[in-house]
Chains A and B, each alone.
Chain A
């Protein structure tokens, strides 16, 4: 759905945009007039002055109309472009009375519904009208936009161990104190049980914290741009490799350069949730030359060497096996804890793409032929050797 909307947006936008360009051309020198496929009269009108911004155009509309705040004098304009066709609206804006006069049913009905108050004419050019319609369209979209569209409905962050720890300590303290002084409980073994239990609980808490130290499972930082993988990878089903080009050929899958974003966002200037705001950041970065500083989510310690090419290209490992269901994430989140144990576990079980010509010289082939083993795991070709990753 959102995909289609954005397509429409894309279409409308491009048309207006392109012609706006031609417009400026005209204003610059009228010699281009001949080539340009624009009717003379509009040309004349606009030769006088360049195009006005839809926002300021809408000021005059705002006297009688609101967007999404219900009917004023005129009807609520929210989603008007869905109710009427573009041309119709343009006509209606430029000269509603003549349209009504022309006996257009829709126009008539509107006229009826609104206490027969005719909308005054507006000297808007086609393009200004178009841009105005777009403006209303996007204003409408903003109404239905979801403010926290980035939130994920799952988190892999480990639960805090603070309370277990405190509880455990309390157990121990009570056990001891009661044993020594209060003597509320008669049987000593209860004290012992209390203390042991306390030790167990707090101990578990401490060890877990120790394990999680330096790990960032469930790490989900706010990024400089409100970028949603849910929209790009999920709704629009863009392939991972389209943006993360490195993953097939290099050690790092590489965050896409701004230029790559612009492949689409040159034309898609308006997001469904944030409108132009976020997308403009790309353009600003691109124009100012100040690069976008993303917060790195998946980072391994420096003494670990990891190659995406090895895993994605050669090993044919699915992205999601490590990065989880990215297409369901708004804000990107670290799904696996990226601990050594986690790597090792996979290396123990993962099957090698042994049909790769590269492995011809490996003697495991003999074992396979002799039926000793059915397939080769990464471990068997040295996947557990330290210098596979540490050097």
Chain B
């Protein structure tokens, strides 16, 4: 057992090991509850809208979006960055808390990771669909070809994106799945129906929990964690470079990578918060996802939101201090004032101000409020991406080609589609996969429950 000081009780309600297994497997064993069906239906609905939008975009052209010669990136990229941000939660949780040996992560990381994987998939759709010639997309792969061969442009942040995001998807998926193997074994052994037994037998890769297995399992977990941690940083740094390496005023800024990473973790955590609150209520998992969990995340959010606030101020200060007229114009005439003030102030309020409420213990304790605030943060982070992408493009260097931007139904459809995909994905996870890491919970069960748990 790790010899780290354990803070507080992680699992409440004097659960025995068997209870743990039973509780967590229950949703998988039982039939789907009504709310699940409804939620899933909604998800599918959104997804269908999305599919229609995809069809229109591909069959008629990007022209069906609200873009123009000056604003060539719109919702597509905004949502791409937004999703990528959200996708940072899982890994941030598991990895960082794993490395710093924070035991309390155990009850949350599984769901967080699942969320990550789905979110990355959502994010991945945007670079694809926003291509003018998606059917030529394979050009972006540096494979040996008969055209010379001609290779891709390794200077392009977009190519870095391709590399980083595919790696990230792979890594987080692996991390997620490997973590689930022992739990699959549990489900397998507990399964009542033949079919389910067969399926989970297949999924569990024949895991039986032997000593050596556990040893290597933990080693692998540490390796994956250790390697993925820098990846988490790099992925969003690279996404930030999409903007930072360009010459557009408001984009061309060295603060972007750290600022984006923090932002990502911010949105990620808030999304985790949103999800976990829902899960613990609908599945009655209060004893696993305890108030102290919520409390902890809330505290982290306050901290990050402070950093975000600082970042915003720095940007504006630098815009003024550097004396670059284009930079100055973008920030002062097209963000603080101008056509897009709503987005700008929305961003400031949601990200930098509202989370400050978490200073108050009362509010941290009030689940409803926490839930609402977490939603606000998600919205705020979306605004942030909107501000960055749109304002810089609409009014850049030459006044002659300044323009404005507003999305079309199709663009919105693509976004809603990905939301639907996310909902469906998460719901399927909740229904068919262990949403809490059983073995890890067991690992922390005894030492954290004051030793007085009942044998049954």
User: B149 an interface residue at 8 Å Cβ cutoff?
Assistant: yes
User: A341 an interface residue at 8 Å Cβ cutoff?
Assistant: yes
Residues of chain A with a CB closer than 8 A to B145's CB:
341
What is the number of residues of chain A that contact chain B, defined by CB distance less than 8 Å?
A: 8
Query: How far apart are the CA atoms of A384 and B148 in the complex, in Å?
Result: 9
Residues of chain B with a CB closer than 8 A to A340's CB:
146-148, 150
Query: How far apart are the CA atoms of A341 and B149 in the complex, in Å?
Result: 6
Residues of chain A with a CB closer than 8 A to B149's CB:
341
Residues of chain A with a CB closer than 8 A to B146's CB:
211, 337, 339-342
Q: Which residue of A lies closest to B143 (CB)?
A: A207
Shortest Cβ distance from residue A334 to the other chain B in the assembled complex, whole angstroms? 16
User: A344 an interface residue at 8 Å Cβ cutoff?
Assistant: yes
Query: How far apart are the CA atoms of A384 and B145 in the complex, in Å?
Result: 16
Q: Which residue of A lies closest to B145 (CB)?
A: A341
Residues of chain A with a CB closer than 8 A to B150's CB:
340
Within 8 A of B (CB), among A321-378: 337, 339-342, 344
Q: Which residues of B contact A (CB under 8 A)?
A: 145-150
Query: How far apart are the CA atoms of A384 and B150 in the complex, in Å?
Result: 10
Residues of chain B with a CB closer than 8 A to A337's CB:
146
Residues of chain B with a CB closer than 8 A to A339's CB:
146-147
Chosen A-B contacts, 17 in total, with CB atoms closer than 8 Å, are A211-B146, A337-B146, A339-B146, A339-B147, A340-B146, A340-B147, A340-B148, A340-B150, A341-B145, A341-B146, A341-B147, A341-B148, A341-B149, A342-B146, A344-B147, A344-B148, A384-B148
Q: Which residue of B lies closest to A212 (CB)?
A: B146
Shortest Cβ distance from residue A338 to the other chain B in the assembled complex, whole angstroms? 11
For the complex of A and B, the 6 pairs showing the least CB-CB separation, nearest first, are A340-B147, A344-B148, A341-B146, A339-B146, A341-B148, A211-B146
Residues of chain B with a CB closer than 8 A to A344's CB:
147-148
Query: How far apart are the CA atoms of A294 and B145 in the complex, in Å?
Result: 32
Shortest Cβ distance from residue B56 to the other chain A in the assembled complex, whole angstroms? 27
Shortest Cβ distance from residue A347 to the other chain B in the assembled complex, whole angstroms? 9
Query: How far apart are the CA atoms of A341 and B150 in the complex, in Å?
Result: 9
Shortest Cβ distance from residue A188 to the other chain B in the assembled complex, whole angstroms? 15
Query: How far apart are the CA atoms of A90 and B145 in the complex, in Å?
Result: 70
Query: How far apart are the CA atoms of A341 and B145 in the complex, in Å?
Result: 8
- B145, B146, B147 — most chain A CB neighbours (10 Å): B146
Within 8 A of B (CB), among A289-346: 337, 339-342, 344
Query: How far apart are the CA atoms of A384 and B149 in the complex, in Å?
Result: 11
Q: Which residue of A lies closest to B146 (CB)?
A: A341
Shortest Cβ distance from residue A87 to the other chain B in the assembled complex, whole angstroms? 66
Within 8 A of B (CB), among A200-257: 211
Residues of chain B with a CB closer than 8 A to A211's CB:
146
Shortest Cβ distance from residue A213 to the other chain B in the assembled complex, whole angstroms? 11
Shortest Cβ distance from residue A339 to the other chain B in the assembled complex, whole angstroms? 5
Shortest Cβ distance from residue A309 to the other chain B in the assembled complex, whole angstroms? 24
Q: Which residue of A lies closest to B149 (CB)?
A: A341
Query: How far apart are the CA atoms of A293 and B349 in the complex, in Å?
Result: 72
Q: Which residue of A lies closest to B150 (CB)?
A: A340
Query: How far apart are the CA atoms of A211 and B147 in the complex, in Å?
Result: 10
Query: How far apart are the CA atoms of A340 and B148 in the complex, in Å?
Result: 6
Shortest Cβ distance from residue B33 to the other chain A in the assembled complex, whole angstroms? 37
Shortest Cβ distance from residue B275 to the other chain A in the assembled complex, whole angstroms? 39
Shortest Cβ distance from residue A322 to the other chain B in the assembled complex, whole angstroms? 16
Query: How far apart are the CA atoms of A341 and B144 in the complex, in Å?
Result: 11
Query: How far apart are the CA atoms of A211 and B145 in the complex, in Å?
Result: 8
Query: How far apart are the CA atoms of A211 and B148 in the complex, in Å?
Result: 13
